[in-house]
Chains A and B, each alone.
Chain A
């Protein structure tokens, strides 16, 4: 068998965005598995709900104010996140620098309010199973939040220090993709934590 040059790839680009990039697929893989973890936690919540006649059992439901405020912040953060993603895909460094900082500011504000959200649950994790699952749901989302805030912060630093390459823009774009997941996963969890005790 003689090797024959059949496909010449030298003219192909050296990075690509969205589902063409392997980073997107890797991110999607983790989103799938973490989304499954959220789904399992939600299923556990609903299961425990069936085991306890009164919900919430003997404690007031969570206070709504901080939760709603924080929800608003998180949903609003989708805007700078979108702009960051768009700028990164245009490889517009100036725009990326601006919007990634704005997104980061939103994320940090959310994280700060998150601390008070734990207090507004009105229950401790070691009081009963209701308290346990409330804290776990909130904690689980917070862990994802923390990792993505860390990731965003590192990328923001890199956007200022360089080195700036096409692949770095792919990183920013995929980080924004993950932030959408953080937002989307919060919606059902928010509903369960704050409205579950009132409605279910």
Chain B
């Protein structure tokens, strides 16, 4: 009996420790933020290539929502998943295919013409780039641009693996050589989808 109470106590303490240790990660990864921060959404943040700031420092990032803290989108599974969905819906697929490239450059590799930072990708989507990338300013709300940008980074494996989307429910984009392996894959049971999301 006493040992049972002790066990229950241990379980409670254990659960509390787990909450404290993993909470900060899972609360960001699993959060479903339905309403973007109105301030951030109305005024997309200035695209900055540097952290240097004259005068007063910028207001600190809000850790719980996106908006002023774009890295939040990379750690939030739902934002990445929404980005994946929007990537198809906004017809990014038309030029970039599912990351493999086509009329536009491939996004799965580690070459970045305009920088790999999420803010650079945001700028690319909002401003457009020469040679075909249109500007989506005023067409896609900032919240969704962040989501797409985060997803683009996930295609190159630049986002935390635990938050990155797995395969979607449609025809798979894959390199043809993957279909006919001559050898058992070196990674054992790990598919490329787990190490380098498509």
Instruction: State which of B178, B184, B191 has its C-beta within 8 Å of the C-beta of A118.
Output: B184
| Complex Cα spacing A115 to B183, Å | 10
Residue of A nearest to B183 (CB): A119
Give complex CA distance A116, B193 in Å. 22
**Residue A126 CB within 8 A of the other chain:** yes
- Asked whether any CB of chain A lies closer than 8 Å to the CB of B22, the reply is no
Decide: B182 and A124 in contact? CB cutoff 8 A: no
Tell me whether A119 and B191 are in contact (CB under 8 A): no
Q: Could you tell me if A124 and B184 are in contact, using CB atoms closer than 8 angstroms?
A: no
Residue B131, interface by CB 8 Å = no
Closest to B191 in A: A126
Q: Bits for B157-198, please: 1 = Cβ < 8 Å to A, else 0.
A: 000000000010000101000111111110000011100000
Count the A residues whose beta carbon is within 8 Å of the partner chain — how many? 14
**Partner among A58, A60, A115 whose Cβ is within 8 Å of the Cβ of B184:** A115
Q: Are the CB atoms of B180 and A122 closer together than 8 Å?
A: yes
Nearest residue in A to B182 (C-beta to C-beta)? A119
Given contacts A126-B172, A126-B191, contact A59 B179 (CB under 8 A): yes
A125 on the B face (CB < 8 A): yes
Q: Determine the chain A residues whose CB is within 8 A of the CB of B174 once the complex forms.
A: 126-127
From A115, A119, A128, give the contact of B181 (CB < 8 A).
A119
Chain B proximity mask over A106-133: 1 for CB below 8 Å, otherwise 0: 0000000001101100111111100000
Which B residues are CB-close (under 8 A) to A58? Answer: 179
1/0 per position for B136-147, CB-CB distance to A under 8 A? Answer: 000000000000
Q: Chain B nearest CB: distance from A146 CB in Å? A: 13
Q: Are B179 and A126 in contact (CB under 8 A)?
A: no
* Contact in complex: B179, A127 (CB < 8 Å): yes
Q: Which of A60, A115, A122, A124 contacts B178 (CB 8 A)?
A: A124
> Which residue on A lies nearest to B171, using beta carbons?
A128
Chain B min CB distance to A118 (Å): 5
Check if A125 sits within 8 Å of B179, measured CB to CB.
Answer: no
A59 to B182 Cα, complex, angstroms: 13
The 15 sampled A-B contact pairs (Cβ below 8 Å) are A58-B179, A115-B184, A118-B184, A119-B184, A124-B178, A124-B179, A124-B181, A124-B185, A124-B191, A126-B167, A126-B172, A126-B191, A126-B192, A126-B193, A127-B178
Instruction: List residues of chain A with CB under 8 Å of any chain B CB.
Output: 58-60, 115-116, 118-119, 122-128
